[in-house]
Chain A
């Protein structure tokens, strides 16, 4: 009964999305206020129905309703409650439902917080969101409904993929989807503005908090995925340039360009048509990511649910959405004239360079990801593009970007006298580069040119941000006063830039100085790595709710003194019989010790993988700061003040 309710709710949600996608757009065109206002009702209705469908599916998982094909495929009676709830988005059908639910949630937020916008723009924005939602919902209903029933009803389910039975992975997809789907909002606002032909500062200011929030969620999703790969896949790596990772990185790079370019459009009125293009591109790449993950055109460790027949539908949707958007862009954007003049050495100039670098980096990732497909499609043979390509292309693009990150906040809008900048910053740069030589030498005992550059440029961001903050604090008259007076946008930017600095330094040191060893050990054996001694003390069986594991007890010693006791496991999940490594690690600010238990070998010995990862935790601290900075910036008061002020102005206008 409840699953049928879910299916019914899904159909109603699609109808609501169609109403939301058609009436307001027509109303805005013909000037009918009542038609435009249906958008708000339709959004609320759509969200409510999707929430119902969501609840129904979750209930089916919790109550082990194996009459649903999707539940039978993804769950099992022995699956713990937490994973029964997260299993809802563990497969293709459920993740689409999550996608649409989040889109409806974002749309609802737009509808609730749109008080300050001209009604026509709101109606068009919600209309575009409705059309996108209708596209994804019809895809869900017609090709991949999670409510398809199964007869005869199996006695038990086939269980959730063991890789997904992990707390990190329970929250990674929702975060990532929040980001992917959130990018639909800046996209929809851009489309609405293009339809109306008005791309002004108000449009940019209205878009900024949405773009920044979506960007923060996307970053959090990527970081969680990386963290999960680090401790579950048992390889000790955290980024593999896998097609699916790239699919999430590309929209993030473009969204990063977008939030910077939006700042210029809002403050100076420049880059308008470029900003619109970025907004469209970011969402198009989100859709492309969905396509790559769901269609199976590329081989990936992530290919959890792939089906070429569905691929055709998503491809059609992708081409329709982006094709129409780019056509509208080609038609409308040439009429938009940016008339803000600026000098090459100015904040605009630096942000333009930042945008170019980020988009080129995205293009490099796109090329590397799709290159095997291009070659195959042209009949030029099968090949794969590995990490060496990405490392070689990505690092040189990042170095100038890091330099700019430190520099841009110091530059003035419009024009900065070149002499002034060098006079004010040469000693900072010199100190940073000297630090880049000294720090790795002190911490790791050696350095290379790339390491010194990476660490030095990271320090450069830290030092310039600290100096800038210091000057502003002095000007504001004390830290407490500054906390009140400096805008949240400034704090957010500074936090994110500091996070970026830590991330850069962490990645540089980690990728150069990480050490690993694959060893074969019997109980009592010792192995040395990076000054630590790993001793295998015990191997014993452990039983979990739906898995059996072998657990090793590894004691880590340094100079004979115990440092940590690690308990890596090798689990075999009872239903799918797939072995899974559950690595154990010990984290300090300057290093991670990581042990993964491998396969049993002859003569009661075991394969173990030992890692010494310097500064690994800096990656997680850095990404956390980047995300936190985005959320702080998005909460800036002036966006709300702006909304209230325009709302009041409108109100007055209507009264008089």
Chain B
């Protein structure tokens, strides 16, 4: 009995080791959004390209669409820019941008330099709409169904693998749901 007590540290260690091993295979940065399967949060923002024009959540309904949160100061956004542009063009997906905590001039210069794949960009200078959308950091990409509900969220830059594996199958499914 007394001997068993001395084995206790060993047993606890093995248990802990098992958890740590499993933990290595998990990604703690993968955060499911509470917004998934909810309607996109309401917002209206001045358009980046034309401050007089207002854009908002009502524009997002009717078709399966992508919403991308980006900023000119964000280097990962630059990395995903080409992936994002290809995705929108090749698969005829409307892509909307929320330009997050950015200066208008900087953002327009960025689009001028790297190309503008967005239908429109809402200029969220103070990050208010970002809060409603639960933005942790840029870039973040949301997939919306035709009813304007959020169906998928990806935090961090999009990679071609991620597009192939997750986004394209989902888009195909959503288009079937609501042709």
Contacts and interface: CB of A to CB of B under 8 A. Distances in A.
Interface in A322-340: 322-323, 326-327, 329-330, 333-334
A311 B21 CA distance: 9
A377 B3 contact: no
Contact of B73 (A281, A319, A333, A577): A577
Interface in B95-136: 101, 125-126
A430 interface: no
A241 to B, nearest CB: 16
Nearest to A372: B28
A281 B9 contact: yes
A334 B1 CA distance: 11
Given A334-B2, A376-B26, A377-B23, A319 B75 contact: no
- Secondary structure class of chain A's binding surface, majority of residues: helix
B26 A377 contact: yes
Interface in B78-106: 101
Contact of B19 (A281, A284, A374): A374
Given A297-B20, A315-B20, A602-B125, A277 B9 contact: yes
Interface string A286-318: 000001000111110000000010011001001
- Secondary structure class of chain B's binding surface, majority of residues: helix
Count class of interface residues, chain B: 20 to 34
Given A315-B20, A602-B125, A376 B28 contact: yes
B179 interface: no
B154 to A, nearest CB: 16
Contacts of A296: 28
B6 A297 contact: no
B24 A315 contact: yes
A299 B28 contact: yes
B19 A329 contact: no
B31 interface: yes
A319 B13 contact: yes
B20 A334 contact: no
A370 B7 contact: no
Interface in B1-50: 2-3, 6-7, 9-10, 13-14, 16-17, 19-26, 28-32
Nearest to A299: B28
A558 interface: no
B34 to A, nearest CB: 11
Given A298-B28, A382-B32, A273 B6 contact: yes
Given A330-B7, A577-B75, A377 B17 contact: no
Contacts of B25: 308
B9 A373 contact: no
A311 B3 CA distance: 33
Nearest to B24: A311
Contact of A323 (B3, B10, B28, B101): B10
A295 B26 contact: no
A277 to B, nearest CB: 6
Nearest to A298: B28
Interface string A590-601: 000000000101
A327 B10 contact: yes
A333 B10 CA distance: 13
A327 B11 CA distance: 10
A602 B127 CA distance: 13
Q: Which 4 A-B pairs have CB atoms at the shortest separation, nearest pair first?
A: A326-B10, A377-B22, A297-B23, A373-B23
Interface of A: 273, 277, 280-281, 284, 291, 295-299, 308, 311-312, 315, 318-319, 322-323, 326-327, 329-330, 333-334, 370, 372-374, 376-377, 382, 577, 599, 601-602
10 contacts: A299-B29, A312-B24, A315-B20, A315-B21, A318-B20, A326-B9, A373-B23, A382-B32, A577-B73, A599-B101
